[in-house]
Amino acid sequence: MKYLHNIGVYFLMIKDMFRKPTKWSVMRTLIFKDIDDLIINSLGIVAFISFFVGGVVAIQTSLNISNPLIPKYLVGFATRQSIILEFAPTFISIIMAGKVGSFITSSIGTMRVTEQIDALEVMGINALNYLVFPKFVALTLYPFIISIAMFLGVLGGLAACVYGGYGTLEDYIEGIQTDFIPFHIIYAFAKTLVFAFLLATIPSFYGYYMKGGALEVGKASTTSFVWTSVVIILANYFLTSLLLG
């Protein structure tokens, strides 16, 4: 029953997030601040992970192709498919659930502990709109991060393949271009937008409705990461079945 209660409160929170909006002059400042905190500050870790994981995928694919009848361009093809379909949209989102999700939960949870949220409500401000809606708007730019992850993942695979001696530049580029289906990009970004919504709202839910003190803020951050990751994986399964099945 506790889980059903939390699901109901979560959807009520989403409804209230759009109610009684904060005036635009204030909201604009909050949105730009959240873009800096959630998007810009995440570029470094996303770029680093994407480049080297792309290299690992290329190396693993090359090492597992021992049959001389299998064309060498398959390394580029497999790297492209792995990065675009799953790694960039899904696994980067799980990493972001740890970085961005924990930040959102801890920042809102700290405001709850220090009674700043109570102060907002006393002043007649819709605290959910004030705190959660800017994060929702900021994370609509999340596909920008995923596009960078895709590019650097493929580039990392290229660097590992060519400079590691696992293949030629021509073979890798041929593999990238082989049987390319544009809908796969649409599929990846469709998943990304759903994941962005989950990244903005689930951690906010655990931060906004937490109770206790500083210790409970840490527990709420851990819980939000776990459940955000679980929901992202479940959403990934259903979206894959729906869009590619």
List, run by run, the mean pLDDT of 10-residue segments along the chain (245 residues).
84 90 89 93 93 92 78 87 91 92 92 88 89 93 94 93 85 88 92 94 92 85 92 94 85
Q: What pLDDT score does 52 carry?
A: 94
* DSSP annotation of 23: P
Q: What pLDDT score does 230 carry?
A: 94
CB-facing half-sphere around the CA of 187: CA atoms within 13 A: 20
In angstroms, the Cα distances linking 127 to 21, 30, 190, 242 are: 10, 13, 29, 35
Helices 2-17 and 183-208 cross at an angle (nearest 10°) of 100
Q: What pLDDT score does 70 carry?
A: 76
Q: What pLDDT score does 197 carry?
A: 95
User: Which residues does 83 contact at the CB level (< 8 Å), separation at least 6?
Assistant: 50, 54, 57, 149, 150, 153, 154, 157
Alpha helices in 124-213 (DSSP H): 127-131, 133-138, 142-163, 169-177, 183-208
Q: What pLDDT score does 61 carry?
A: 87
State the Cα–Cα distance between residues 176 and 158, nearest whole angstrom. 10
Helices 183-208 and 102-113 cross at an angle (nearest 10°) of 20
Whole-model pTM over 0.85: yes
Q: What pLDDT score does 178 carry?
A: 85
State the Cα–Cα distance between residues 239 and 191, nearest whole angstrom. 7
Both tokens assigned to 181: 């289906």
Both tokens assigned to 61: 């694919």
Say if residues 165 and 65 touch (Cβ distance below 8 Å).
no
Q: What pLDDT score does 44 carry?
A: 93
**CA dihedral sign, ordered 221, 225, 230, 236:** positive
